[in-house]
Structure 1
Amino acid sequence: MSGWLLITALLVLGGVLSTLGDRLGSRVGKARLSLFKMRPRRTAVVITVLTGSLISALSLGLMLLVSRQLRVGLFELDSLQLKLRTSRQQLEENRSALASAEAERSKARERAATLRRELEPLQKQRDQLEAERERLSRDIQTRDADIRRTEAELKQVRNRIQAGEEELKQLERNLIALRRGAVVLSSGQTLATATVRLNNPAQAKNVIDRLLQDANLTAYTRVRPGEKPDRQILLVPRSDVDRLKTIISKPGTWVIGVRSATNVLRGESIVYGFPDVRPNRTIATEQEVLARATLEEEERTPEAIRTRLNLLLASAFAEVKRRGSLTEGLQFDGNALSQLGQALTERQVGSIDLEVVAVRKSDSAEPVLVAVRIQP
């Protein structure tokens, strides 16, 4: 829109200036004016020429004033053309570089695809190697664990062998001591027993202390006979004592005891022991048959009868021990047993059934009193 306004203004301005120049030339011609001593006619021509030049100058000035593009095109056209040529050259160079880059990129893509295809089996091989390495690591760990376990088992076996050797040496010493009669306490032998039923758990400590004192007195008397029992030679683990206290604090009747942990020789200064606790129970009731045996007719010699009676009593003792008795042996009337043996010797006809019966009711810690009789 501004271009059309500029053209319109130029046309109007040219027309006005042409009219003014024509009139000015006519007036100068009519007035017969002279410039620079020229003839009036020539002066009128000069005025007309100057007027036309002014029209052109004004038109050009107005166009330059109004149109920046015209100014740039008129005064900066060469530099713009130079920049345009330079830009075109750079564009061509950039296009060439772009084409080269595209070609290189295509080659790189093809190379990458080729490398991927070449890398795929290597990747699979690497995965296989990784899996193999993990398997080998697991195998090594398993072997290490087996080696450690084998070493631990070997150490245990060595310890067992060492312990067995020590035990063998101890057994040899015990055997020598037994032959010499120097073993006064055997392993597992009872030193003291008691039957307790606590109404108050606080009484447990006093009961255990009294039991340990009795056991220490028994051990001292047997190990160091003739000496005054003025010190503690019995050693019982504190953890075992605490466990014993916990058990007997529970409701019920308990039979508690202290046993020797090892064979003890006469004259030793320390006796190792351990507590034993079990619920109190009835071992035998009155007139209960504990064992039976048959004496055949050909077993009527005194020696055979003595052997049979000993075996019968041993069977009865094994039965009460199986039931949980803490007694070290059976109690019986020796005279009555001798009279029974004499009567069996004199009775020569037929087989005879014998039995061992309990004379009275006996609990776990009580001695078991028995009698041997002919079965009715």
Structure 2
Amino acid sequence: MLVGVKILIIIALMGGLIAYMGDKLGTKIGKRRMSLFGLRPKHTSIIVTIVTGLLVSAATVGVLTFTSQSVRTALFGMDQLRADMKQLNNEVAAKTQELIRGQALLEQNKQELEERMAEIEQIRREVEATKAELASAQAAKDATEAELASLQASYAEVSQKVAELEATRAKMEAHIKNLQNTQEQLQNGIIHLREGTILFQVDQLLAQAVVRPGLSEEDSNNAIKHIIDDTNKLVLRRLGIEDNGQSVVYVDRQNVEVATQKLINSKTPMVVQVVAAGNIISGEPAVAVIQVYPQQFIYKNGEVIHSTVIDGGTNAQSSMLQFLKQVNERAKYTDGDTYSSGPVHLKLRITQMPDFNDKAKM
């Protein structure tokens, strides 16, 4: 606005100055009766006035042109300005169309964005649900792994028990086979019992030994084995067979294991006896039983174990055998079921009873 005020002030000053100069110049020309181009002074004065007016207009336009870019543009660049304005209008129209399309595209993109946001929200919910399912699956997996570890441990334990049962079954099958062989031998022995010679009667002591306490398992097994070997040699001598390593004495394996455990756990000297389990017939295996009990003092020297009165006559032998059997039972057991600690060596004392009838006759 200040520029416009300055331009108006300059135009007014220039116009007034030029008009004043033109008026003075016209007055002088009129007074002197000057003539230009052979014209009359009146006409010359008119021409000077016209020229002065032109100078005022030219000066005004020149000052405006010199002081204002807009005037210069309006005077010399109007066509270009129009062309530029037209181009700008076209560009504005194009930009407006682009803006409209952009707004439509923006609305479309906004709608798509809202749809994408809805999809993202749906996906987020699905992800949360999936995470929850994953956590549940992980917990189930952990529980399954724990159960699997427990099942594996149970399987290992069951496998071990199965292996033990298989070993026990094999052991029992071998034991059953041995019992079957023993049964066959006993059945054959029944036949030979009627025809063969009885070497040892049932419950007859075959061999015995005293074993010191505190033995290890290996030493206990060796002690039982040596006693069975000695018994085998004794039976072979009674059979009149040369000892060439063959075994004729049979002892149940479970009986051997029980006897071995008694030796291992013993804290006092133990008596080990090999007793005939049945009548041992010549030519048949000798089935024996191992008995283990602590060594202890039973009878004093000269102590009477048992006494009875036996009638003479033809039944004297059977009565004597019955008496010896009773003595054997008394010597075999002490208080209750406790076995004695070894064989009892007896002296048989026979005293004739006085005849009271003969004394009466006298």
With the length of structure 1 as denominator, give the TM-score of the two structures.
0.45
User: Which of structures 1 and 2 has the bigger CA Rg?
Assistant: 2
> Higher strand proportion, which one?
1
With the length of structure 2 as denominator, give the TM-score of the two structures.
0.46
